[in-house]
Every structure is written in C-alpha cells, then in structure tokens.
Structure 1
C-alpha cells in the first residue's frame, strides 16, 4: 500500500523524491523516530519520520539530505483519522493513522512523543482538508435552475 500511495503522490515514480515538490530534507514541521509496522510482513521497524507540507515521509536513518530517498510516504490529505491505539495493539505509546484503504500502526518512544505526533498529524489533516475545500469553492449564485 505504501508503494501505491507513493505512486499516487509522485505520479508513478518510486525513486525520485523531488517529483513531489516537497523539500523534506529541510525545516520539517515535525521529525523524529517512530517504530512502524511493516506493510506486508507485520514486523516492527524503527524509522525516521518527517512531516512536511501535508506528507509524512519515512527513512531508514535520521540523516536526511536532498539525495535521500524516502522508504515511503503518506499523503496526509488521504488520512481520515489519527488516534491512540494502545488498546488495539496492547502496546504503550501506540497510535494509528487510517485512510480509506488501510490502517497503519506506529509506536512512539514516550506518551509525550505519541501525543505530539498525533497533534502534528491532526493539524496537518485539518490544514490539508482546508486547502482542498478552498480549491473546490463553487459559486452557487451563478448557476441557473432548469
């Protein structure tokens, strides 16, 4: 699924991070380590996450440069919810991000980190939904009734 999300964001390219137009290597809105459950093989791997301009990227290490290639990306506009998931996973500091297609699970290093990620991603979801709503403004006054 992450690969299909990647293709939807970057137009089919899986190796050209600049195609998305996001300079993820500088001034992120939020960045840090999270443990992420794998997409196909449900193992847990520690990844460096970067949230910027409505996209959540992840990398194998924390040294992110212009030449870095993300391991995956989640377009925040496709997210329906972000919420705690300790009860679902039976693990401390767990949270989930849900899209129409899937639910992805993450584990932060502390309760504070979990809450900060949930808040940052939540704010980004709201910002992205506002951007989409603004782009879809319809002038109902100019339509004729038939």
Structure 2
C-alpha cells in the first residue's frame, strides 16, 4: 500500500498529519475488511475508516485521536473500485485501482462488499482531481 501512496502523491513518506483529517470523528464509513499486505502477500483483517477522501486502516476498531493508522489511501488517486471475486477466487472480494497499482480487499458479506464499493466510489467522484470547481461548466447560467 505504501507504493500506492507514493504513486498517488509522488511522496516517499506517508504524512503523519493525514492532511488534518480527523479520522476518529464522524467517519463516512467504518468496518472490518481483510486486505492483502503490500510486501508479504498474507491476508490480514483490519479496521477501515473512510473520511474526506481518505481510506485509513488500523489494527483494531478502537480509533481515537491518538490512534496511528497503519496506512492511508487517498481515494482521489483511485480510478476504479469494483468486485474482484473472479480475480481472487474469493467470495466478497473487491479491488481498488490506480494507474499503477491494484489493491484487494475481502468483506464479510455481499452487502458489506456492495456498501464499501458504493461508499468508496462516491468518495472517488467527490474527491477526484479530474474535475475541479473551476472546470465545471454551468450550462444553465447563460439562460
């Protein structure tokens, strides 16, 4: 996942302030997912928090101001989020892809998988850098 962060931001280190996102307060979505490690390809269960265009993960579900995320993915750099059961041959699997990397996750149920795909998909659209406010054309303003 670190390579995804580097690829998405051009940074070699993960930030320790997480752009001021208060991940412990009123997240958009939280829950357990199983994710594959970046270097050692084992599957580990992690607590995920989606907030303000960032997907954080932690070792346990007790997330406080003092918690330190194990990793973070800026979803604005992601291109797609979709089911991946056929790719991994695992039930409730989905993938999150950037131009250079693809990460895989496994939810606990079909509903959880769909909820995560929908939430992350919405966040990608909301935080995407492909369309900024200045580039949005209001076709109704000339009427």
TM-score of the alignment, normalized to the shorter chain, above 0.5: yes
> Could you tell me which residue of structure 2 aligns to residue 127 of structure 1?
126
What does 1:1-40 correspond to in 2, within 5 Å?
A: 1-2=1-2, 5=5, 14=14, 16=16, 18-40=17-39
Structure (1 or 2) with the larger CA radius of gyration: 1
Q: Which runs of no fewer than 5 residues in structure 1 stay unpaired?
A: 140-146
Counterparts of 2:6 and 2:56, CA distance in 1: 10
TM-score normalised to the size of structure 2?
0.85
Q: Is the 8 A contact 1:3 1:72 kept in 2?
A: no
Shift of 1:105: 0.2
What does 1:1-146 correspond to in 2, within 5 Å?
A: 1-2=1-2, 5=5, 14=14, 16=16, 18-129=17-128, 133-137=131-135
TM-score normalised to the size of structure 1?
0.83
Shift of 1:14: 4.2
Task: Tell me: CA distance 1:69–1:6, structure 2 relative to 1, closer, same or farther (3 Å).
Answer: farther
Shift of 1:12: 5.9
Larger RCO of the pair (alpha carbons < 8 Å, separation 6+): 2
C-alpha RMSD of the superposition? 2.4
Q: Deviations over 1:87-133 (max 9, x none)?
A: 0000000000001121000000000000000000000011112x652
Q: Which runs of no fewer than 5 residues in structure 2 stay unpaired?
A: 138-143
Compare the two structures and name the one with the higher helix fraction: 1
